Amino acid sequence: MKKINVQMVDLMSQYNKIKTRVDKSIISTIESGKFINGPIVSEFSGNLKEFLNVKHVIPCANGTDALQISFMALGIKPGDEIICPSWTYIATAEAASILGIKTVFCDVDLDTFNITANHIEPLINSRTKAIVPVHLYGQSCDMKEIILLAKKYNLKIIEDNAQAIGCTYSFANGEKKMTGTMGDIGTTSFYPSKNLGCYGDGGALFTNDDKLAEKIKMIVNHGEKIKYHHEIIGCNSRLDSIQAEILNIKLEYLNEYNFNRNKMADIYNQSFKDINGIQTPVVIENSKHVFHQYTIKIDQNIRDNFKNYLTENGIPNMIYYPIPIHRQKPYSNGQILKNTDLLSKSVISLPIHTEIENSNQDYIIEKTQNFFK
């Protein structure tokens, strides 16, 4: 088999399927002159609200802002502590640090890559104000236990749902909720490569709490309810109308996109199940998975060889994440997180797409199988 063109994230094939509608909507937004907070921004928020079955969706400029605004809205102050994973994108911790909030890093489960109540509980003290579960790679944390823990210690929950939009979690009584709608606030990012991505930056906050929603709406807009009447300190964090147009179209396809990601993941799982050296993703019983990333674990002694081999064969691949947050310069203090440290040496993510026919998945699978022969 000769080398072929494979992408890590194939936004072009996806765009080509919706090009006519997207192009038309962008032009009509420009012609309307309503670049910021146009009617499309509230139309999109309304549609996303319905999709998520949540009371309030407040759009903002990006997923990092959404986290920062959550901490502000919940009144978490300098010196307070939040508990979050180190095994996540830097934004989760950075948004707290910029406010002077102390980030207490929690280790993750080796199989699901997510924090669990068992890992969180020993870290709780009198300064702890909130837990920030991240639904990493597209799978929900085990929220039932985390919610119980938050109730027990009177803590807030902010779900970082940047990687799992469209994922559902089932409670023991059969009730199903979407990730991002189970805590006090949920946040997401519409960065282009996310499962629901725009063509620039974008983000949103979700909540079922009317009072919090009102406060969030003020914070994203300089702390004002009435123009030029600033009641609290806020920031400037808005979603552009053009991005809202694109998101409103792509939201219609989100379930299909996530379905296709699952199809690709199933094919990978089937093809790798007899390879001893590969551990395919583990999905907990209560959660669906939307495969923002398809991440496998392999022996830490061969991971980097495998990575080089893939790259040499023209197969894009990524390590999410090569350096966990507790080992990044601004945070490093010698803390050891056993599972997190091991994961940084043993994970590797393979390409996963919403347009399977252009994925060249057979090629990726054949090359991978050959490596482990």
Summarize as ranges the residues that interact with ligand PLP (CB under 6 A).
62-64, 88-89, 91-92, 134, 160, 162-163, 189, 191, 201, 203
Q: Who contacts 197 (Cβ-Cβ below 8 Å, separation ≥6)?
A: 11, 190, 191, 250
Whether residue 128 contacts residue 104, with contact meaning beta carbons closer than 8 Å, is answered with yes
For ligand PLP, the closer CB: 162 or 239: 162
For ligand PLP, the closer CB: 257 or 272: 257
User: Quick one: the chain helix, strand, coil %, rounded to 5?
Assistant: 40, 15, 40
Q: Who contacts 211 (Cβ-Cβ below 8 Å, separation ≥6)?
A: none
For ligand PLP, the closer CB: 197 or 272: 197
In angstroms, give the least distance from the CB of 1 to ligand PLP: 33
Whether residue 86 contacts residue 325, with contact meaning beta carbons closer than 8 Å, is answered with yes
For ligand PLP, the closer CB: 67 or 278: 67
In angstroms, give the least distance from the CB of 169 to ligand PLP: 17
Q: Which residue is nearest to ligand PLP (CB)?
A: 63
In angstroms, give the least distance from the CB of 194 to ligand PLP: 6
For ligand PLP, the closer CB: 25 or 92: 92
CA distance 58 to 205: 5
In angstroms, give the least distance from the CB of 64 to ligand PLP: 3
In angstroms, give the least distance from the CB of 95 to ligand PLP: 8
Report DSSP letters for 40-58, one per residue: HHHHHHHHHHHHHT-SEEE
List own/partner pairs for 223-229 with CB under 8 A and 24 or more apart: none
In angstroms, give the least distance from the CB of 90 to ligand PLP: 8
CA distance 321 to 347: 8
For ligand PLP, the closer CB: 203 or 234: 203
Other Cβ atoms closer than 10 A to 365:
16
Question: Cα torsion for 88, 260, 269, 310, to the nearest 10°?
Answer: -70
Burial class (CB in 10 A: 0-12, 13-18, 19+), 193: exposed
3-class DSSP assignment, residue 330: coil
CA distance 310 to 367: 8
Of 226, 285, 244, give the one whose Cα is nearest residue 60.
244
Report DSSP letters for 158-189, one per residue: EEE-TT-TT-EEE-TTS-EEETTSSSSEEEEE
For ligand PLP, the closer CB: 197 or 351: 197
In angstroms, give the least distance from the CB of 61 to ligand PLP: 8
For ligand PLP, the closer CB: 29 or 163: 163
Other Cβ atoms closer than 10 A to 117:
19
For ligand PLP, the closer CB: 189 or 258: 189
